Amino acid sequence: MTKWMTPANVPDTTYITVYRCCFETAAEQTLEFEFSADNRAQLYLDGKLLINGPERGAPQHWYFQRVKTQVSAGSHILTSRVVSLNPLDITVREYGYAQMTVRHGFYVNDKSGLLNNWEYQFENIAAFEKPFPDWASFPRVRITPDYNSKLLAGIGGEWQPVAYFEDFRTLYEPDLPLMRHEKIEPELKAPGLYYFKQYVCVWADYRFKGKGKVSIRWTETPYLTEEFDPLYLKGKKGNRDGKFFVGVPDVFEIDGETVWQDFWWRAGHYLEITVEGDVEYEANFYLTGYPYEEFKPRSVLEKMAFETLQACSFETYMDCPYYEQLMYIGDSRLEALCTYLITDDHRLIRKALRMFALSQRPDGSLNAQYPSCSIQTIPSFMLVWFLMLRDYHKHHGNDDLVMELKPYALRLIEFLKANTHDDLISVKGWNFFDWCDCWDNGVPPGGELNSAMNWLYVLAMQSAAEMELGDGLKEQAERTAAKIREKFYVEEKQLYALDIEKKHFSEHPQILAMLANGDTSVVSGLRNVELTPCSIYFSYYYLEACQKFGLNDLLEKRLDRWRALCNEGLTTFPEEFDNPRSDCHAWSSHILGILLKQ
């Protein structure tokens, strides 16, 4: 149990609290403390950014952060800017889906004896607005001329004594190193239009002077026309050099001088700053993301794949940095496979596996993405978790993490067994498998009961058996494989149908049959029959099968789809081959692993 500080009166909507501690030192001294915050904090010492944190976690595994720095003799002010995205109920929460909460507060464990008297005031932001089209990111702000630009330095306004409460969550040491924070300069394309040559995730700060209004918008790319689908978040992108911006901006009403520092990073290639009236401004940008070791790509494809992985790696893996910033199981396994090939630093992989396990529900099922305020069931992703754990086990054996996660794996196996009938698995939920144009919202024909899901089940049970997670798993995999052949295989086509009625065919069950069962009888069908192709996501498994079974002609033909993307003005790989929502999507980075194994 720990003692946290909080405002005396907590609003029931999104708000930002600034906590202040004034202290003096007679001589140069070490300032050392631990801190945590709910949701998120930026700490400043005498107005200069010191650190942000804590590392993103979940209610079951909340982190603290350590700070140790030298302070000179004299008076000092330490401030903490704590963002609170409220409330927890996702039916009301309109942004920041990856940022979880237990109860707003700020925690300090002072090691130096300097931080004794804390005060607070609320940051006077006029309004928070729902972001669009990056609906799951952090909110936009509206700032008026009465905004206190010196507040983060602990100056001005009315400060009040904090209240305290006892918090029962356990605080854990950071799992990861600090994220990057490196100055970066964009290219000025036109007045107010900035372009970053690489896809970036950046913290930004601004200084405005004059009288008027400034609007700031970030985007992956400007669109060719004003047409935009607000449901699927898609527009015409062309060669990523259009003229039309889509999105809700941050708005600053200026009358004099205003200094603003973003409370969350932004992502993309383009920044548009529109000025109305007589306002001058300065801007600074700092690149963030996981501090991977230096990687030297051998080709354009490897460079684009690595930059996709880099942009989708923060304090968790992310599906996409611009839109959701959520860590999905399906994406994360592919990111982890790339990570194994470029570094011996597997801390982010360890954290991802643990976080997904912590999402486990009482029935044993896993959430599709975590940390997350959103409840989502994607049955195929639960099976992918076993593959991801098996990948880790191959590198580390039965280490402390594998033993920690074993009880979660056993409960998940029981859940899967409860949804297995006549040796075939069928699980309710969003049975997403891949973004294929002719499928209904990513769900294969056959719905809950399809051959692709069952072949993935075979792979998952084989993985669990390899790790000795229970008895009878290998036998279950063998029985399911035999039942798939009985119910779905079409002899004259030498292919597995997706559905029991044997009307629909795609690449997915064929390649999974090869990977799970060494079934090469489908190879001629793969070459000679028009099948629904894997999208960019599931093409990893297609390419893996091609490499494993020496199908170099098919491998090169599929790689041509990535080569074609190099001519579309992209520097990262998108969510889909054609008409993508996101221009930078984690699962498309998997080609890096394929290329590095060639």
Same domain, 463 and 586: yes
In tens, the pLDDT along 398-436 reads 999 999 999 999 999 999 999 999 999 999 999 999 999
Determine the Cα–Cα distance for residues 19 and 82; give it in Å rounded to an integer: 8
Same domain, 105 and 227: no
pTM score, two decimals?
A: 0.97
> So what's the pLDDT on residue 495?
97
Number of domains in the chain: 3
**Banded pLDDT at 10 (limits 50, 70, 90):** confident
Same domain, 491 and 376: yes
Residue 398 lies in a domain: yes
Q: 400-418 vs 451-466: helix axis angle to the nearest 10?
A: 140
Can you say whether the dihedral through the CA atoms of 155, 158, 164, 168 is positive or negative? negative
Residue 469 lies in a domain: yes
The CATH number of residue 62's host domain is 2.60.120.260
Same domain, 274 and 318: no
Same domain, 8 and 114: yes
Residue 129 lies in a domain: no
Residue 132 lies in a domain: no
Residues in the chain: 598
- Average pLDDT of the chain to the nearest whole number: 96
Of 232, 252, 287, the position where a domain reaches its end is 287
Peptide bond into 222 cis (omega under 30): no
* 3-class secondary structure, 547: helix
> Given a cut of 90, is residue 381 above it in pLDDT?
yes
Structural domain including 508 reads: 300-565+576-596
Same domain, 432 and 546: yes
Of 317, 180, 190, 290, nearest to 243 (Cα)?
A: 190
Same domain, 315 and 272: no
Helix residue spans in 7-65 (DSSP H): none
Residue 177 lies in a domain: no
Same domain, 191 and 165: no
Peptide bond into 54 cis (omega under 30): yes
Same domain, 283 and 348: no
Same domain, 486 and 558: yes
C-alpha distance across the termini of the chain, in Å: 52
Residue 498 lies in a domain: yes
> Given a cut of 70, is residue 538 above it in pLDDT?
yes
State the amino acid at position 381 in one-letter form: F
Same domain, 105 and 207: no
Residue 141 lies in a domain: no
In tens, the pLDDT along 79-129 reads 999 999 976 666 667 899 999 999 999 999 999 999 999 999 999 999 999
